Amino acid sequence: MNMNRWKSAGSLTVFLITMALLLTGCGGVLDPKGPVAREQLQLINLSFIIMIVVLIIVFGLFFYVLVRFRKRKGQTGVPEQVEGNHKLEIIWTVIPFLLLIVIAVPTVLYTFKFATDYTKDKNAIHVKVTGHQFWWEFEYIDKDLGLITANELIIPVGKKIALELTSADTLHSFWVPQLGGKMDTNPGLINKMYLEADVAAIYQGKCAELCGASHALMNFKVIAKSEADFAAWASRMKAEAVIPEEAKAGEAIFTAKCLSCHAVSSEDRGAYPNLDGYAYRTRVAGVHPNDPDAVNLREWLSNTDHVKPGNNMGNQGLTDDEINELIKYLHELK
Ligand code: CUA
């Protein structure tokens, strides 16, 4: 290899490593924050270490043979041909077989463990997740919760979150890299998984299955809170929002133009994202920050297609005045 070849091989390696990190959720998988993700990382590490050791030994032998038995000056004719060495054949059949057992046993055990159904567990929080183009619906099934929310899944730390996942339209895939592996959502099917978060934090969630124009924008958050904060959030969600006088005009516009699709009580479903507790959402449409000046909300209401191409809301043709009133109202949904 000449210098240029080495250089391009170097850049290719850097490119591949960068891509691998990007594809694993910018390293989120390598930084687990819950027992499921941690156990999954242990499986990855086990396979990875075994593969690296095999790689080093195989390539070591390969290069040794390449150098040791190379054709030397003055050497002519075909070298001595060796085949059918039983001892060697047994060694290189048995070793990979043992290595596969070492990988297979924990993989199978954990695969069954990750499929444990906690939906009937009294101590678990039971949530139905529905993927929509291009947002996520979270419905708390437990009778004393009974809430519906969108794009932000609020959970208590240290508790099993039993998820039942499905889709309202096409295939999506639910993925929170720091909490656990992906799970597809299929129309007409219920897939189950569970997650658990160690610490109160906001975890990035992604749709991991190409599902249309705004697949890459089908983001969500899992917000883990302490048990007390979680209970406070739930009771706040259950309480009816008190709309002050200055937001009443916005409420009227919302009732006339938006309410047929967007419920504002977490006991109602609505065909599109439930906006109960909107004031507390960290993101507008799951994409841009829900900033206090409502720059992003204004952009969204002016032209949703600009923010999330191909979404079902489209351009509602709201006037600037209507948007101003709606912003006031939405910020009162507490
Ligand atoms: Cu939903 Cu990609």
In percent, the amount of the chain with pLDDT more than 90 equals 64
Q: Report the C-alpha gap between 324 and 310 in whole angstroms.
A: 24
210 CA → ligand 1 middle, Å: 5
pLDDT above 60: residue 1: no
Q: Tell me how crowded residue 114 is: count the other CB atoms within 10 A of its CB.
A: 17
Q: What is the pLDDT of residue 79?
A: 84
Within 8 A by CB and 6+ apart from 313, the residues are 261, 272, 304
- The answer to whether the beta carbons of residues 219 and 286 sit under 8 Å apart is yes
Placement of tokens 């150098």 in the chain: 67
- Tell how far CA 131 is from the center of its chain: 12
Q: For 71-79, what is the mean pLDDT?
A: 87
144 CA → ligand 1 middle, Å: 31
pLDDT for 194-226, tens place per residue? 999 999 999 999 999 999 999 999 999 999 999
Q: Report the C-alpha gap between 327 and 238 in whole angstroms.
A: 22
Q: Report the C-alpha gap between 144 and 267 in whole angstroms.
A: 12
25 CA → ligand 1 middle, Å: 15
DSSP secondary structure letters along 41-77: HHHHHHHHHHHHHHHHHHHHHHHHHHHHTPPPTT--S
Q: What is the pLDDT of residue 268?
A: 78
Buried-exposed string 183-194: b where 16+ CB fall within 10 A, e elsewhere: bbbbeeeebebb
Atom of ligand 1 nearest to the CA of 133: 1
If we measure between CA atoms, which residue out of 114, 95, 116, 106 comes closest to residue 45? 106
Q: Report the C-alpha gap between 320 and 152 in whole angstroms.
A: 28
Atom of ligand 1 nearest to the CA of 212: 2
Q: What is the pLDDT of residue 102?
A: 95
143 CA → ligand 1 middle, Å: 29
pTM for this entry: 0.85
If we measure between CA atoms, which residue out of 323, 273, 329 comes closest to residue 295? 323
Q: Which amino acid, 249? A: A
184 CA → ligand 1 middle, Å: 10
131 CA → ligand 1 middle, Å: 8
Q: For 129-146, what is the mean pLDDT?
A: 91
**What is the DSSP pairing of strand 202-207 with strand 172-176?**
antiparallel
333 CA → ligand 1 middle, Å: 27
Q: For 232-247, what is the mean pLDDT?
A: 89
Least confident of 43-57, 164-178, 306-320: 306-320
The pair of structure tokens assigned to 258 is 């938006």
Q: Report the C-alpha gap between 114 and 106 in whole angstroms.
A: 12
Placement of tokens 């209401």 in the chain: 301
In percent, the amount of the chain with pLDDT more than 70 equals 97
Mean model confidence pLDDT for the chain:
90
Dihedral, CA of residue 68, residue 73, residue 77 and residue 79, to nearest 10: -10
Buried-exposed string 9-35: b where 16+ CB fall within 10 A, e elsewhere: eeeeeeeeeeeeeeeebeebbeebbbb
pLDDT for 86-100, tens place per residue? 998 999 899 999 999
Atom of ligand 1 nearest to the CA of 185: 1
pLDDT above 90: residue 36: yes
Atom of ligand 1 nearest to the CA of 134: 1
Q: Tell me how crowded residue 269 is: count the other CB atoms within 10 A of its CB.
A: 13
pLDDT above 70: residue 3: no
pLDDT above 80: residue 296: yes
Q: For 60-78, what is the mean pLDDT?
A: 91
Q: For 280-295, what is the mean pLDDT?
A: 89
pLDDT for 155-165, tens place per residue? 999 999 999 99
Atom of ligand 1 nearest to the CA of 131: 1
* 3-state secondary structure at position 176: strand
Helix (H) or strand (E) holding 111: helix 86-114
pLDDT above 90: residue 314: no
Q: What is the pLDDT of residue 17?
A: 78
Q: Which amino acid, 124? A: A
Q: What is the pLDDT of residue 315?
A: 81
Label residue 22 by pLDDT band (50, 70, 90).
low
Atom of ligand 1 nearest to the CA of 209: 2
| Pocket around ligand 1 at a 6 A CB cut-off | 131, 134, 172, 207, 209-211, 215, 218
Q: For 33-39, what is the mean pLDDT?
A: 95
pLDDT above 60: residue 189: yes
Q: What is the pLDDT of residue 27?
A: 66
145 CA → ligand 1 middle, Å: 27
pLDDT above 70: residue 65: yes
Q: For 279-297, what is the mean pLDDT?
A: 90
- The answer to whether the beta carbons of residues 33 and 197 sit under 8 Å apart is yes
Closest Cα to atom 1 of ligand 1? 172
pLDDT above 60: residue 25: no
